[in-house]
Chain A
Amino acid sequence: MTLTAPAPASVELQRAVTVGNPNVGKSSLINALAGSDLHVGNWQGTTVERLEVRFSIGDREIELVDLPGAYSLAGVTGEESITRRELCEQKPDLIINVLDAGNLERNLAMTVELCELGIPMVVVLNLWDEAIAKGLNVEIARLSERLGVPVITSVARRGEGIAEVRQALSSRAIPHLRIRYADEIEVAIADLESSLSVSRWLAGAYLSEDEAAFQPPPSARQMRAKLEEDQDPFLAISEARLITVQELCRECTTSQAAIASTTSRIDALVLNRWLGLPIFMLGMLLLFRFTFLFSQPWIDCLQTCKQLLAGWFCQLPLPPLAISFLNHGLLDGVGTVVAFIPVLFLLYLFMGFLESSGFLARTTFIFDRLMAALGLPGRALIPLLLGFGCNVASIYATRTIQDPRDRLRVALASPFMACSARLTVFVLFGTIFFPANGSTIVFGLYMLGLAIGLVTAGLLGMALPKGELAAGIMELPPYRFPAPRFVARLAHRQVKRFLKEATGPILAAVLMVWVLMSFPQGKPEESIYARCSMGIQKVLTPIGVNDWRLAGALVPGFIAKEVVIGTLGVSYLGAQPDAAVGFQEGLQKGGEALWKATTETVSAVPQLVGLPSLKAETEASGELQQALAKSTNQAGALAYLVFVLLYTPCVATIAAIKQEFGWRWAGASLAYQLVVAYACAFVVYQVMK
């Protein structure tokens, strides 16, 4: 830095873009450069939209755009055309071309195309550690000399080489590598370059690439027609590029004999013909045990804290209605939102690990055939399975599915997967009405949900306009142990997003139910809630719901299935008074609850390897069980459970569908769930009766 330089009148803004093949660590690099928080996954298509960050180096401000991964500038997929438009139309000041150093030949194919754009460029050989482990070596100086631009090695996820990349951002070097095409093509390209003032690359694309996508002007069409008389310009151009890439690799790289990598050793096990499926099943089983065992202590702890707060609030010098509002409106609302956090956080943590380690691609490989039978891509499996944990997590996880049509199908199917919150209702009714074969009933319900979900995906597949059949070409990336920091950050961000999106709808719904239940003041069966419930019950008579209190509990059930049992308790037994708690005592009990949750989490670790206990406990009191036992019979109870299984799991699910696909689909999904739930419950009741 020189002190004599005059202060710039305005901060210089530099527009830079990162470009490269899928899954080479572009997002990691940007995170390391800008200290930002982009989603990082070991998975093609992590960046499905254009992402921007701004940061400054010295007196320059840099706007960095992370473009979706592409194998070529001329690619036809949605993401590839985003990348092309950004480069050809927006003309950035600098291209940061990120390469997988361990897979140079294929990555350089894109680099030689970028060289023809005439835009300043910096080449970053990322994943340098993996390349070295593979026994590859690149002569950096040589490569830099041949390309005419700075070449830097990095391990972005560990922050190695980042300082050098930051320094290189001020480079203005335009690549001087020139691909030599056949003479006729060179003449045509030179002509187009000067007459249309387009880049060498675009001139070549006009002559060889898909005409519908590139819309070449008439003069280019004529030239192309002439060239096509004696050769295929596409083949000629790609061959010339290929030769250039091979030359570059020959000159600049040396490699030792490949050693059996960790990746191929892990693959030999998990992709094994006979062991692959059992290992996968075991993994999923562990996941759900892990989620349940580790989240339950925290859900209990939050519940205790809620009771303690209610115990304080009920002593406040306020009218009873205000206290009821605080405890059963506001506190219950916030409690419902917060109760989602432990499960969601753990599921997102797991999803993040699957994505960034490379296991998600293997899952796709193992299950592609099974899912193909339903017309779905193999990667649809994980989002569907996550539905058994939480439907909200499941809907967000559909983002890993690239085809928008398949994504929608999975998102509309996943609410039928019985999430862990429904289990509480299943267990309560199972214990009361089917004491002998409760677990069979619960298992049957899970299977019914799965079947309905798959049928839904299948029907939608027939109804929606057919997309192009994906050729099923997928990379199996090397395994990478994800940095715990990244995975935790990802989970944290997803939970934050959930809170932002779902808090409003959940709070509004809880408050609405509170208003309905509290007015007019007096007996529960005179409230607006009771009268509405009686109306609903008339509609539900054909499915065997003959008690308004059962019908009514389905309404708060829209908010979340966790509150169904609580509502049943209130309407059968009346509101339980909150036990008053002293301030000191409350703090002490809160501390104890926190300690208990921590120790239970730790002691859950050995339980992971043990056999799952099939005996689920129910939180409902004996009194409630007796009251419910009189409210309906076996047929009615089963129909009720089928309805609970199939209708809208929670308001957060609808909010998630709305956020991902818009109001239209959220509404359609809601209506569809109600119709399916009613129809299935009707059949069950009429048959059982």
Chain B
Amino acid sequence: MHEPMPVSQDRLSHLRPGQIGKISQLHGNRDFNRQLLRMGLTPGTRVRFVRPAPLGDPLHFSAGNFELSLRRSTAAQIQIDSIDGEQA
């Protein structure tokens, strides 16, 4: 299985508050990826970074119809391929 080289190295954890990223690939281990997929964080999903927790970690994201909290290290394993939305 040869995947094309990723176009961008941006990760979900790189977003600024208010920005939206489109998930392109999950880089965690198999179980982790499956857990995310099952929650609905599939490639193609647009995720908005809402805000970091008061102590800087974890991060609050909004994925369309549901909100979730991910640790920064977790979000760093999720690759995104486009960033848009104004900065908060």
Contact = CB atoms under 8 A, between A and B. Distances in A.
Question: A and B bound?
Answer: yes
Interface of A: 71-72, 74-76, 102-106, 109, 134, 136, 210, 231-232, 234, 238, 242, 263-264, 267, 271-274, 276-277, 361, 364-370, 372, 471-478
B65 A369 contact: no
Which of A109, A263, A365 has most chain B Cβ within 10 Å?
A: A365
A384 B52 CA distance: 24
- What are the 9 A-B residue pairs with the smallest beta carbon separation, nearest first? A106-B40, A472-B71, A71-B38, A369-B55, A276-B54, A476-B67, A72-B38, A103-B65, A369-B57
B31 A76 contact: yes
B56 interface: yes
Nearest to A472: B71
A475 B28 CA distance: 19
Contacts of A478: 67
A365 B60 contact: yes
15 contacts: A72-B38, A75-B35, A75-B38, A103-B66, A210-B31, A273-B51, A361-B69, A365-B58, A365-B69, A368-B58, A471-B28, A471-B32, A472-B70, A474-B69, A476-B69
Interface residues of B, number: 32
B35 A472 contact: no
Interface string B46-81: 000011111111101000111111110010000000
A472 B53 contact: no
Contact of B55 (A74, A105, A366, A475): A366
Contacts of B64: 105
Contacts of A276: 53-54
Interface of B: 1, 28, 30-32, 34-40, 42, 50-58, 60, 64-71, 74
Given A105-B64, A476-B68, A476-B69, A71 B39 contact: yes
Contacts of A474: 58, 68-69
B57 A242 contact: no
A264 B28 CA distance: 29
B1 to A, nearest CB: 7
Contacts of A476: 60, 67-69
A502 B60 CA distance: 41
A236 B27 CA distance: 18
Which of B36, B53, B54 has most chain A Cβ within 10 Å?
A: B54
Given A72-B38, A134-B65, A471-B28, A271 B71 contact: no
Given A105-B64, A106-B40, A368 B54 contact: no
A136 B64 CA distance: 12
A366 B58 CA distance: 8
Contact of A238 (B37, B52, B54, B55): B37
Nearest to B44: A242
A370 B68 contact: no
Contacts of B57: 368-369, 372
A369 B55 CA distance: 7
A206 B45 CA distance: 28
Contacts of B74: 471-473
Given A76-B31, A105-B40, A475 B67 contact: yes
Contacts of B36: 473
B54 A274 contact: yes
A269 to B, nearest CB: 11
B67 to A, nearest CB: 4
Contacts of B31: 76, 210
Contact of B53 (A74, A106, A366, A471): A366
A76 B31 CA distance: 8
Which of B36, B38, B52, B60 has most chain A Cβ within 10 Å?
A: B38
B75 to A, nearest CB: 10
A323 to B, nearest CB: 60
B42 to A, nearest CB: 6
Contacts of B40: 105-106, 109
A610 to B, nearest CB: 27
Contact of A271 (B34, B53, B65, B68): B53
Contacts of B42: 238, 242
Given A238-B42, A369-B56, A475-B39, 8 more contacts: A76-B34, A134-B65, A210-B30, A272-B51, A274-B54, A372-B71, A472-B70, A475-B69
A471 B1 CA distance: 27
Which of B1, B56, B60, B71 has most chain A Cβ within 10 Å?
A: B71
Contact of B71 (A210, A231, A274, A368): A368
A320 B55 CA distance: 64
A471 B35 contact: yes
A271 B51 contact: yes
B69 A368 contact: yes
Nearest to A275: B54
A102 B67 CA distance: 12
A366 B50 CA distance: 14
A368 B68 contact: no
A370 B35 CA distance: 25
B77 to A, nearest CB: 9
B22 to A, nearest CB: 15
A642 B28 CA distance: 47
B66 A475 contact: yes
Contacts of B38: 71-72, 74-75, 109
A128 to B, nearest CB: 14
Contacts of A365: 53, 58, 60, 69
Nearest to B29: A471
A569 to B, nearest CB: 47
A650 to B, nearest CB: 34
A292 B51 CA distance: 35
A369 B69 contact: no
A370 B53 CA distance: 11
Nearest to B39: A71
A472 B69 CA distance: 8
A367 B36 CA distance: 22
Nearest to B37: A238
Contacts of B54: 271-274, 276-277, 366
A72 B60 CA distance: 23
A272 B88 CA distance: 13
A472 B50 CA distance: 17
A134 B64 CA distance: 11
Given A76-B31, A365-B60, A232 B68 contact: no
Nearest to A276: B54
Contacts of A102: 65
Contacts of A364: 69
A132 to B, nearest CB: 14
Contact of A368 (B1, B32, B53): B53
Contacts of A369: 53, 55-58
Contact of B52 (A134, A273, A277): A273
B47 to A, nearest CB: 13
Nearest to B56: A369
Nearest to A209: B34
Contacts of B30: 210
